[in-house]
Amino acid sequence: MTERVEYFRGILPAMQVPFNDDYSVDEAELRRFSGWLASHDGIGGLVTNGHTGEVFSLSAEERAQVTRIVADEVGRRVPVVSGICCESITEAVEHALAGEEAGASGLLIMPPHYWLRFGMRPQNVIDHFAAVSEAVKISLIVHIYPAWTKASYSSELLAELARLPRVTSFKVGTREMSKYDRDIRAIREANPRCTVLTCHDEYALASMVQGVDGALVGFASFIPELLVELYEAVCAGDLNWARGVQAKINTLKEAVYANDEPSSDAHARMKSAMVLAGRLKSDLTRPPTRRPSPEQLQRIERALEEAGLLGVAASPVEAVSMAAS
């Protein structure tokens, strides 16, 4: 297989995955949704198998299936990145090879989740990335978890990762702004070619103005046009324009994220908001993730109405409730 090097830039939506009533992947809807996202100017790629895409509920075969469908639909227009969320190095390599074979141009490497419980040593991280790097011929994105977790990478470790073969980009979700600034500087100094993407959905503007190369966020799966516009305003140095766009985003952010970080519940609320806005056909999520309560749906509906994104259905909340029955 020919080597592919991608330095990811712009807005990369971490995609929701639509399901049929039997919880199988809805291929037709996934193709339609992928094409719609890729049609927006400023989209630098599509990301499958992220947290927003309910990666924990998907089998290895389904993860490859989702990537294959999206890559087949949009691969000639924008690159596709497949998330790798695995506990062992062996499994990570297997999933990486499957993602590459499915047509991914890059792999988003998440920390093994046992690190969240037990922590890890820097060499564990280097070994994990090195094994994947040696197995594939496509680019790797480092997914940086919040500073408060045991899977947080030090700035020094990020510099080491930036020097590894195939590591071209960083999805920075530090969520502690002084460390966020140090992390970006460490990456840039270690390898100026690497690109830095914020993944702070809940405060996009504040994290974009640090001089990043774009954003890899789940919220761009919902409102790609606003995230693209926000990044354009930041790149243009027009803070007034950027603040105005962020104000529109805030209305939706507060309803979806409820003033907290992205989570499975938030991803379910976002999926329902996307149905209410006419952007997805169904808000079905796989158990144990549950749909929003009627009260939450009403808050989401009000936020969409305020943002001018409410769908044309006479009673959108009833429409979502009917889809749940």
- The boundaries of the domain holding residue 199 are 10-235
pLDDT tens per residue, range 83-121: 999 999 999 999 999 999 999 999 999 999 999 999 999
pLDDT tens per residue, range 47-59: 999 999 999 999 9
* pTM for the whole structure: 0.93
Q: Does residue 93 belong to any structural domain of this protein? A: yes
For the ranges 151-165, 222-236, 310-324, the lowest mean pLDDT is seen at 310-324
Beta-bridge partners for 107: 82, 140
> 161 vs 255, which has greater pLDDT?
161
Predicted local confidence at residue 2, as pLDDT: 72
284 pLDDT tier (thresholds 50, 70, 90): very high
For the ranges 76-80, 192-196, 261-265, the lowest mean pLDDT is seen at 261-265
Predicted local confidence at residue 311, as pLDDT: 72
CB 248 within 8 A of CB 226: yes
What is the DSSP pairing of strand 10-13 with strand 139-144?
Answer: unpaired
d(CA 74, CA 299): 34
Q: Does residue 208 belong to any structural domain of this protein? A: yes
> 314 vs 140, which has greater pLDDT?
140
For the ranges 67-71, 225-229, 263-267, 302-306, the lowest mean pLDDT is seen at 263-267
CA atoms lying within 13 Å on the CB side of residue 184 = 22
d(CA 214, CA 116): 27
CATH number at residue 40: 3.20.20.70
Q: Check whether 318 has a pLDDT greater than 70.
A: no
Q: Does residue 240 belong to any structural domain of this protein? A: no
Predicted local confidence at residue 30, as pLDDT: 98
1 pLDDT tier (thresholds 50, 70, 90): low
Q: Check whether 207 has a pLDDT greater than 60.
A: yes
Domains of the chain: total = 1
> 322 vs 46, which has greater pLDDT?
46
Q: Does residue 98 belong to any structural domain of this protein? A: yes
pLDDT over 90 percentage in the chain: 87
Predicted local confidence at residue 259, as pLDDT: 64
Predicted local confidence at residue 323, as pLDDT: 43
CB 175 within 8 A of CB 146: yes
Mean pLDDT of the region 5-10: 96
pLDDT over 70 percentage in the chain: 94
> Which own/partner contact pairs does 256-261 have at CB distance under 8 Å and 24+ positions apart?
256/219, 256/222, 256/300, 256/303, 257/201, 257/202, 259/202, 260/202, 261/146, 261/175, 261/202
d(CA 83, CA 51): 9
